[in-house]
């Protein structure tokens, strides 16, 4: 049986993102390490004035370790012809992840802005949470109608009340 | 003695008692939800502890840890769905017994064995940790650096399928631990101009981001493929569906054997709960008078696995409290909680925060009793939790993650960070990169950096002084050898 991580015979959403994911992962890890070493670390860490070891020493050592591990992973997968089936990352995973991030982002933005828009502080949660919970439930795709009502009305109300009166912590 | 009595009084205060009880309850409930487990429960509970006193906060998290251990067994027994790899061993006999009409008996055996195993390892911790800390105090930064490096190598070698991925995860975690103000020069590192990052990345946001949120997304992703599984009913109809005292007394050998195995394995960083559970099961099968019964609903099998995997949790605190080294994910999250409350785990903890630590020991014993009491009385209620469909539970848990981080960090910045780390955690899970190594790297990173910097400063004036640190030299030399042996045997030892 062919390893789905190393072949791409299937089509559509089940298709693996790359032909050999670990090979490309190795290259990506090595590239990350190099980007950290030559770009991010010099831009974000100031070694001037250090009296002992420079503050960039540990980040640099760890970035080089990433380069080394990326290289090892790449070399291992140049030679590897595994027959062991693995699931790996698929296109549908990437799409689903993007949809989930979008749902959480919409909820967060509503929580942040609605209170300011309508001029009532602490009201954002009352709009953002029901919409967020509806979107999260929608992501499941298999929930019956009553669950949407429960998650959109009962759950946010209980959470809001619990934090407001139970823990004396205002929500956004 | 006065110190111990004061610590006991702290532990028995109403606040601490209620915190531990709520922690146990949260742990059992979250542990019982299929797909969620004790480390996730701790990650979700950390934000709730921000405003608490240190003992109440850490006691609550210890309660979550202990409750989560038993909660995992509920899903394993009633649904045949282990929430964590180590619970897979419990399903071997737990589920067949539940299917044969004795789910209550299976759950009671798991509960009692779990409490006994946990209590045994807690006693070992209480007796050993202060003594070991005295020895650990003699270790300087050179020795500490060597111990930390070999511990991280052990953990990276044993976690996941690939060593390069394990080391990458640990180094990425350690790299991200350098975000914030450098402790020696006070110059900011990787803050990108955000003042919120000057104190470093908030552990609760990172932990919930990489641990809990990706799991929720993956569970929601199952979508319509979710089919309601048959749950074995816990009823009072069958009179023989209860474990009798004589039956439980007959289990003392597998329970104490499991507790011994779990304690020994838990005291070593990285070996993990799964190994303890399966080793204990294998040992019980070997010494059983009726080995053919194991796997078909034998009480011995449940007792052996549950006592072993619960014993790991107490023993894991031995390296944590004596050296500051977390042996597994749960311990790593506890280190984070200690640091949030201004307590640094390590040998000095017995000098600086002795009252807190002895109070914690008392809270651990109290948590075991509460697991027993709450677990016994709530057995039927907790059994219902596994029936709650995922489309109800996971959206609400996701919102609680957002709310918890917002409240604990006082703003949206940390919530966006959590979301970013959720993306990272999801990709890591799909690409089989160990999240355990990442979190432990994140927690150990600052300690390793500090001890290496101190060692280099110490040795820079006289490099030959390295030969005065024979123990450190032996450890450094042993690190690649141990790593090679573990990699060779990883398939057998790994937590998966």
pLDDT per residue as tens digits for the range B364-394: 999 999 999 999 998 888 888 877 888 888 8
Task: Answer whether residue B64 shows pLDDT above 80.
Answer: yes
Q: Where are any strands of DSSP class E within B133-222?
A: 180-181, 188-189
Q: Could you give the 3-state DSSP secondary structure of residue B180?
A: strand
Cβ distance of B190 and A45 shorter than 8 Å: yes
Contact B496, B274 (CB under 8 A): yes
Q: Angle, to 10 degrees, between the axis of helix B390-409 and the axis of helix A124-140?
A: 140
Residue A147 distance to chain B (closest CA, Å): 6
All residue ranges of chain A with pLDDT < 50 are: 1-11, 17-18
pLDDT for res B453: 83
Q: Which residues pair with A90 in a beta bridge?
A: A16
B342: left (phi over 0), alpha (psi -120 to 50) or beta: left
Residue B169 distance to chain A (closest CA, Å): 9
Cβ distance of B175 and A59 shorter than 8 Å: yes
Please report the residues numbered 116 through 155 in chain A whose beta carbons come closer than 8 angstroms to any beta carbon of chain B: 125, 129, 132-133, 136-137, 139-143, 147, 150-151, 155
Of the partner residues A72, A88, A107, the one whose CB lies closest to the CB of residue B164: A72
To probe the interface with B, which of A51, A62, A88 has the most B CB atoms within 10 Å?
A: A62
The total number of structural domains that make up chain B: 1
Q: Which helix (H) or strand (E) holds B283?
A: helix B273-287
Number of residues written out for chain A:
172
CA distance B273 to A62: 29
Of the partner residues B187, B220, B448, the one whose CB lies closest to the CB of residue A136: B220
Contact B437, B329 (CB under 8 A): no
CA distance B49 to B27: 14
- Enumerate residues 6+ apart whose C-beta is below 8 A from B351: none
Contact B314, B118 (CB under 8 A): yes
- Enumerate residues 6+ apart whose C-beta is below 8 A from B381: none
To probe the interface with A, which of B395, B409, B427, B430 has the most A CB atoms within 10 Å?
A: B395
| Averaged pLDDT for residues B91-98 | 88
Residue of A110 and B337 predicted with greater confidence: A110
Cβ distance of A108 and B419 shorter than 8 Å: yes
From chain B, the residues in CB contact with A69 under 8 A are 164-165, 167-168, 171
Cβ distance of A66 and B175 shorter than 8 Å: yes
Cβ distance of A65 and B171 shorter than 8 Å: yes
CA distance B321 to B350: 8
Of the partner residues A72, A73, A140, the one whose CB lies closest to the CB of residue B390: A140
Residue B424 distance to chain A (closest CA, Å): 10
- Enumerate residues 6+ apart whose C-beta is below 8 A from B53: B15
Return the closest-CA partner of residue A136 out of A156, A160, A121, A162.
Answer: A156
**B146 alpha-carbon distance from chain centroid:** 24
CA distance B52 to B405: 15
pLDDT for res A11: 46
CA distance B318 to B334: 13
pLDDT for res A19: 57
From chain A, the residues in CB contact with B394 under 8 A are 136, 140
pLDDT over 90 percentage in chain B:
31
Return the ∠ at Cα B352 (arms to B348 and B355), rounded to 5°.
Answer: 115
Cβ distance of B167 and A69 shorter than 8 Å: yes
pLDDT for res A4: 41
**Token pair of A3 as six digits:** 């390893």
For residue B383, the enclosing domain spans 2-493
CA distance A114 to A126: 9
pLDDT for res B305: 92
| Closest residue, chain A, to B166 (C-alpha) | A69
Best-predicted range by mean pLDDT (B43-52, B192-201, B363-372): B363-372
Task: Answer whether residue B334 shows pLDDT above 80.
Answer: yes
Of the partner residues A55, A112, A137, the one whose CB lies closest to the CB of residue B412: A112
Helix locations, B46-86, DSSP H = 54-79
Number of residues written out for chain B:
496
pLDDT for res A5: 44
Count Cβ neighbours within 10 Å for each residue of B412-429 and write b for 16 or more, e otherwise.
Answer: bbbbebbbebbbbbbbbb
Counting one residue from chain A and one from chain B, the pairs whose CB atoms sit within 8 A come to 175
Return the closest-CA partner of residue B18 out of B66, B52, B50, B44.
Answer: B52
- Enumerate residues 6+ apart whose C-beta is below 8 A from B153: B479, B482, B483
Please report the residues numbered 86 through 115 in chain A whose beta carbons come closer than 8 angstroms to any beta carbon of chain B: 86-89, 93, 96-97, 100-101, 104-105, 107-108, 111-112
pLDDT tens digits, residue range B430-441?
998 988 889 888
From chain A, the residues in CB contact with B172 under 8 A are 62, 66
| Averaged pLDDT for residues B467-493 | 78
Residue A7 distance to chain B (closest CA, Å): 16
CA distance B345 to B334: 9
- HSE-CB at B7 with a 13 A cutoff on CA atoms is 19
pLDDT category of residue B480 using cuts at 50, 70 and 90: confident
To probe the interface with A, which of B45, B49, B168, B221 has the most A CB atoms within 10 Å?
A: B168
| Closest residue, chain B, to A90 (C-alpha) | B430
Helix locations, B344-465, DSSP H = 349-352, 354-377, 379-385, 390-409, 413-430, 435-460
ipTM for the complex? 0.87
pLDDT for res B160: 65
Domains in chain A: boundaries:
12-79, 91-166
pLDDT for res B236: 60
CA distance B291 to B395: 44
CA end-to-end distance (rounded Å), chain A = 53
pLDDT category of residue B112 using cuts at 50, 70 and 90: very high
pLDDT tens digits, residue range B391-418?
888 899 899 889 888 888 778 999 999 9
pLDDT for res B322: 86
């Amino acid at each position: 049986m062919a390893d789905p991580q190393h072949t791409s015979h299937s089509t559509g959403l089940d298709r693996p993102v790359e032909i050999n994911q670990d090979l490309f992962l190795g290259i990506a890890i090595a590239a990350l390490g190099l980007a950290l070493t030559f770009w991010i670390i010099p831009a974000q860490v100031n070694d001037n004035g250090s009296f002992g070891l420079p503050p960039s020493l540990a980040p640099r050592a760890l970035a080089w370790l990433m380069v080394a591990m990326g290289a090892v992973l790449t070399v291992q997968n140049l030679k590897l012809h595994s027959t062991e089936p693995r699931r790996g990352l698929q296109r549908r995973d990437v799409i689903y992840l993007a949809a989930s991030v979008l749902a959480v982002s919409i909820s967060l933005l509503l929580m942040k802005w609605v209170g300011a828009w309508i001029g009532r502080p602490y009201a954002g949660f009352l709009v953002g949470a029901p919409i967020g919970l509806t979107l999260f439930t929608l992501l499941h795709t298999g929930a019956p109608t009553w669950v949407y009502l429960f998650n959109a009305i009962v759950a946010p109300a209980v959470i809001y009340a619990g934090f407001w009166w139970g823990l004396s912590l205002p929500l956004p | 003695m006065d110190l111990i009595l004061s610590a006991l009084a702290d532990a028995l205060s109403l606040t601490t008692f209620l915190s531990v009880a709520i922690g146990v309850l949260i742990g059992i409930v979250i542990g019982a939800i299929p797909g969620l487990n004790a480390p996730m429960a701790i990650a979700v509970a950390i934000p709730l502890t921000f405003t608490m006193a240190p003992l109440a906060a850490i006691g609550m998290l210890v309660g979550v840890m202990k409750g989560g251990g038993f909660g995992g067994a509920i899903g394993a027994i009633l649904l045949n769905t282990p929430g964590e790899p180590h619970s897979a061993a419990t399903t071997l006999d737990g589920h067949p017994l539940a299917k044969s009409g004795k789910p209550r008996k299976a759950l009671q055996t798991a509960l009692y064995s779990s409490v006994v195993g946990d209590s045994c390892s807690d006693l070992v911790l209480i007796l050993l940790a202060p003594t070991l800390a005295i020895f650990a105090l003699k270790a300087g930064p050179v020795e500490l650096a060597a111990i930390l490096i070999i511990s991280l190598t052990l953990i990276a070698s044993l976690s996941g399928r690939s060593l390069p991925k394990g080391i990458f995860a640990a180094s990425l975690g350690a790299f991200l631990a350098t975000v914030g103000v450098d402790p020696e020069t006070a110059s900011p590192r990787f803050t990108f101009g955000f003042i919120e990052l000057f104190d470093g990345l908030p552990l609760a946001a990172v932990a919930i981001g990489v641990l809990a949120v990706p799991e929720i997304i993956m569970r929601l992703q199952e979508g319509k493929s979710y089919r309601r599984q048959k749950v074995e009913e816990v009823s009072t109809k069958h009179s023989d569906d209860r474990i009798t005292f004589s039956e439980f007394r007959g289990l003392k050998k597998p329970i104490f054997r499991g507790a011994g195995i779990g304690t020994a394995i838990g005291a070593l960083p990285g070996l993990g709960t799964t190994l303890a559970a399966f080793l204990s099961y294998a040992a019980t099968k070997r010494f059983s008078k009726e080995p053919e019964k194991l796997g078909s609903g034998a009480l011995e099998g449940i007792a052996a696995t549950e006592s072993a995997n619960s014993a790991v949790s107490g023993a894991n605190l031995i390296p944590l409290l004596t050296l500051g080294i977390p042996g597994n994910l749960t311990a790593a999250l506890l280190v984070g909680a200690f640091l949030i409350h201004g307590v640094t785990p390590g040998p000095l903890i017995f000098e600086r925060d002795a009252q807190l630590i002895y109070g914690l020991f008392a809270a651990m014993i109290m948590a075991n009793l509460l697991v027993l009491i709450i677990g016994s009385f709530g057995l039927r209620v907790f059994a219902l939790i596994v029936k709650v469909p995922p489309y109800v539970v996971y959206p609400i848990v996701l919102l609680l993650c957002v709310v918890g981080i917002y409240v604990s960090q006082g703003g949206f910045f940390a919530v966006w960070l959590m979301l970013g780390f959720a993306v990272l955690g999801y990709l890591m899970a799909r690409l089989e990169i160990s999240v355990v190594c990442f979190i432990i790297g994140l927690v150990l990173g600052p300690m390793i950096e500090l001890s290496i910097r101190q060692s280099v400063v110490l040795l820079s004036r006289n490099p030959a002084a390295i030969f005065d640190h024979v123990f450190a030299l032996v450890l450094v030399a042993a690190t690649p050898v141990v790593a090679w042996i573990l990699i060779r045997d990883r398939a057998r030892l790994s937590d998966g």
